[in-house]
Each structure stands twice: as C-alpha cells, then as structure tokens.
C-alpha cells in the first residue's frame, strides 16, 4: 500500500510539473497499514494482540501484521508495533498535503506530513522536460 501511495504522489507531481500551469494543493490520505494488523485505522495494543495471534496460528494474517515489511510475520513485527506505539518509530499513516508553489522564475513543491515537511526545488520553469522522459 505504501508503494501505491508513493506512486500516486509521483504521478501527481509529474502531472503538475509537466503541465507547467498547475499550482494548487493536493491532499492524499495514506491509510495505516504496516503495524495496523487488525485494520481498525490506528496502531495500538490491539495490533500487538493480533500479530501474536497470527504468529500462534490462531488468526489469519493481514497485510498490516507484517509491521516491519520484511515479508515474514514474527516477533520482530511485535517489536516494530511496540516502537510505533512508543513513538520511537514513525508510522506512514496520516494526511499528506502537497503544495505546488509558483516562486516566480521557478517552481517548488512543499510536502507536509504532520510534523515533517519537505521542500523540493523544482528548478527553472520549463526545464522539467529535460528531466522527465
């Protein structure tokens, strides 16, 4: 699911950069996934219980049960969920807002994900054709 969200964001960025005329805000909700073993939309102690049941063979596996995205559901996934709950590891879930900014002679993109922000210098206007095949 993370790759789907990344693909969606990449397509939106390419469309905006290639057209040269789009300067707007785009909001994308990235659903909780890795660590949200019980699919209730949040990562909490109930997810630890779900992963434990999956490991013990008492419950069916879900995509969210593989919290560390290594392809296996094991005790390492429980540790990952515990770290997310404790605030030691970040979760990719939440609201992602993308701002396309016209800065005069060039373009910029501000990506906002709650407490994290990233500003991308798009370079000189009209040069994107040289970067996008």
Q: What is the DSSP string of 56-79?
A: HTSS---GGG-TT-SS--SHHHHH
Has residue 24 got a pLDDT over 80?
no
Q: How far is the C-alpha of 105 from the C-alpha of 96, rounded, in Å?
A: 26
Mean pLDDT computed over every residue of the chain: 77
For 31-43, how does the pLDDT look when each residue is reduced to its tens digit (9 = 90+)? 557 899 998 888 9
Say what percent of the chain tops pLDDT 90: 27
Global pTM reads: 0.51
Domain boundaries, the chain: 1-31+93-133, 33-91
Q: What is the CATH number of domain 33-91?
A: 1.10.1330.10
Has residue 21 got a pLDDT over 60?
no
């Amino acid at each position: 699911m993370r790759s789907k969200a990344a693909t969606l964001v990449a397509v939106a960025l390419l469309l905006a950069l290639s057209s040269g005329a789009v300067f707007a805000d785009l909001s994308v909700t990235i659903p909780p996934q890795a660590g949200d073993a019980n699919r209730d939309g949040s990562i909490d102690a109930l997810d630890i219980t779900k992963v434990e049941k999956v490991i013990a063979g008492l419950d069916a596996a879900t995509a969210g049960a593989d919290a560390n995205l290594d392809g296996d559901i094991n005790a390492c996934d429980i540790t990952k969920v515990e770290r997310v709950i404790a605030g030691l590891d970040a979760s990719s879930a939440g609201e992602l807002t993308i701002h396309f900014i016209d800065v005069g002679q060039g373009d910029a993109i501000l990506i906002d994900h709650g407490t994290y922000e990233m500003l991308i210098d798009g370079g000189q206007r009209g040069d994107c054709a040289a970067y996008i095949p």
